[in-house]
Structure 1
Amino acid sequence: MRQFTDSEALSGIVPEALGAGVRVVRVDRLRGGSKKGVYRVHTSGSRAASVIVYSWAEAEDFWPAAEAIDPAHPFAHASGLAPFLAAQRRLDGLGVRVPGVLLADDSRRRYPADVAVVEDIAGGTLEALLETDPARASHALNELAAMLDLMHQQHSQHYGRVDVLERGDKASGDSCEQLVLERAVEDLAEAAERDPGIGSAAAPLHVRLEELATRVAPRTQHGLIHGELGPDHVLVDASGHPVLIDIEGLMFFDVEWEHVFLRLRFGDRYPALSRPGLDPARLDLYMLAMRLSLVAGPLRLLDGDFPHRTVMREIAEHNAKEALALLVQ
């Protein structure tokens, strides 16, 4: 049985962030996280009625232990205080809105895990706003597009997560497209064992991946991407401005990888985020790779005790169908 945090555990760390007179009155564990715990902490005695606490405790990570992988690999498990802080500094320095950090602590003296106390953006997600207030959401979506333009125009000859590059390490692999191909082949093998439809088409899917990879020309410049940017990873503040969250995977990589994910997650609203000049060969390879990742990943998560099982199963089933559909295009 997993043990999550509570008011008592947070009664030391939150007053440290907000002041000695602050008292924790209620703690709500927010739904959705699979790598870290996210808590809304309601307080008294502070100008901030609530704050958000990120907890990177082992019990908060629902992903099954994977085989050893180079932690500098762009697709390594992106979780932890160090990648969060590196991403927060980089985006804040660019003027891209992210929650402000009130306290970050990896000492484990006041709390039994790496932890961060951050600003509570109380306006809800862009995903919810798109349904409840499309006009207001449209303004936020246009501002998000401008934020992404700014990020994608930040260039580096090296690819890799921001925290990896900041500490002077080199990311694994020879190129973005090679890394994506290798990951897609692994995801295909894993998905083929678990999904009958993918299993029956494993050979032609493998051939298709290799064929698409041969069409991709070399590239020496990479943009700054979020890496997993759906409308649920964008909050909207009280003034209607978008705020990026779940930023630990921030990295320099092919911007086509970002755009494929944006297209899948924003659906009919993606045209507001689409941009000219994207490489069609990369888009084709990355779309099939992303579909396979969204089959293998959710099924892997279901090997453990992740609580929201129906939605993960639906994601895997939907993307298996979409991956198979790409064979006939």
Structure 2
Amino acid sequence: MRKLVEIEDLSGLVRDVLGSACRVVGVDRLRGGSKKGVYRVRVDGTPMASVIVYSWAEEENFWPGRNDTDAEDPFAPASGLAPFLAARRSLENLGARTPRVLLADDSRHRYPADLAVVEDISAGTLEALFASDPARAAAVLDELAATVDVMHRHLAPEYGRVDLLERGGTAKGVSCEQLVLDRALRDLDEASGRDRRIAAADGRLRERLHGSSALVTPRAAYGLVHGELGPDHVLVDADGHAVLIDIEGLMHFDVEWEHAFLEIRFGEFYPVLARPGLDPRRLDLYRLAMRLSLVAGPLRLLDGDFPDRAFMHGIAEHNLKEALALLP
């Protein structure tokens, strides 16, 4: 039985941040976190009505088996205070808005895990705004597109997670495209073992991956990519500005990898984010690889006790159909 955060766990911590007059009146675990716990802490006695606490406790990681956080592997699960802070520094230096950090603590004195207390951007997500206020969402999307442009134009001569490159490290692999191919083949193996429809198309999917990869030519500069930039990972603050969250996987990589994800997650709104000059051969490989990742990953998560099972199964099912639709 997992022990997740309760109100008494955070009362002293939040009082340290907001002052002795602060009283915690409620703690809610927010939906969707699979590698860290995200908690809204409601308070009295302070100008702030609430704060957000990130907890990177082991109990908060719902991924079974592959919990390796090797920073040298761009595709290893990115989790922890160090990659969060490194990503935040990189984004803030480029003018990209992220939640303001009120406390970052890896001492384990206040709480037995790395944690951060950040401002609560409680106006909601861009995803919700698309439905509730399309005109306001359009303005936020325009701002997000400008932010993504700045990130993607921020080039580095090496690929890898920003916390690794910041320390002078070198990422694994010989190229982005080879890393993507290797990961896609692993995802295909996993998905084939879990679903007969993928298994029946395994040979054709494998041939398509190898064929697309063979057409990609070398590259020597890599943009800054979020890695999971969906409209659910963009909050909207009270002034209508886009605020990026779930940033731990920030890395320098082929921007086509990001665009393959943006196409999927933004759907009909993607044209605002689309840009000329992307490598069509990389996109061809990365689109299929991304679909396979979004099949294998959710199915792997469902091997454990992730609570929102219907939602995760729906992601796998949708992307399975889309992966098969990419076959000739």
TM-score by length of 2: 0.98
Instruction: Look up the equivalent residue of 1:23 and give its one-letter code.
Output: R
Assess if the C-alpha contact under 8 Å between 2:69 and 2:79 holds in 1: no
Instruction: Look up the equivalent residue of 1:144 and give its one-letter code.
Output: L
Aligned twin of 1:51: 51
Aligned counterparts of 1:11 and 1:171: Cα–Cα separation in 2: 40
Secondary structure of 2:24's aligned partner: strand
Gap regions ≥5 residues in structure 1: none
After TM superposition, give the deviation of residue 52 of structure 1 in Å: 0.3
Pairing 1:101–2:77 present? no
Aligned twin of 2:296: 296
Aligned counterparts of 1:175 and 1:231: Cα–Cα separation in 2: 29
After TM superposition, give the deviation of residue 311 of structure 1 in Å: 1.4
Per-residue deviation, residues 82-102 of structure 1 (Å, max 9, x unmatched): 100101111112110000100
Per-residue deviation, residues 38-97 of structure 1 (Å, max 9, x unmatched): 011111222211100000111111001228674410001101111001011111121100
Gap regions ≥5 residues in structure 2: none
User: Across the two proteins, how many residue pairs are aligned to each other?
Assistant: 328
Aligned twin of 2:62: 62
Secondary structure of 1:277's aligned partner: coil
Aligned twin of 1:14: 14
Secondary structure of 1:155's aligned partner: coil
Pairing 1:285–2:290 present? no
Aligned counterparts of 2:286 and 2:214: Cα–Cα separation in 1: 13
Change (3 A) 1:82 1:70: closer
Per-residue deviation, residues 168-216 of structure 1 (Å, max 9, x unmatched): 1110000000000000000000100001111011111111100000110
Aligned counterparts of 1:152 and 1:65: Cα–Cα separation in 2: 32
Per-residue deviation, residues 85-134 of structure 1 (Å, max 9, x unmatched): 10111111211000010000011111111100001101100000000100
Aligned twin of 2:111: 111
Instruction: Look up the equivalent residue of 2:313 and give its one-letter code.
Output: R
Instruction: Look up the equivalent residue of 1:31 and give its one-letter code.
Output: R
Assess if the C-alpha contact under 8 Å between 1:12 and 1:111 holds in 2: no
Aligned counterparts of 1:103 and 1:69: Cα–Cα separation in 2: 23
Aligned counterparts of 2:306 and 2:136: Cα–Cα separation in 1: 33
After TM superposition, give the deviation of residue 223 of structure 1 in Å: 0.1
Change (3 A) 1:43 1:170: same
Change (3 A) 1:118 1:69: closer
Aligned sequence identity (%):
67
RMSD: 1.1
Secondary structure of 1:95's aligned partner: coil
Aligned counterparts of 2:265 and 2:248: Cα–Cα separation in 1: 19
Assess if the C-alpha contact under 8 Å between 2:141 and 2:272 holds in 1: yes
Aligned twin of 1:311: 311
TM-score by length of 1: 0.98
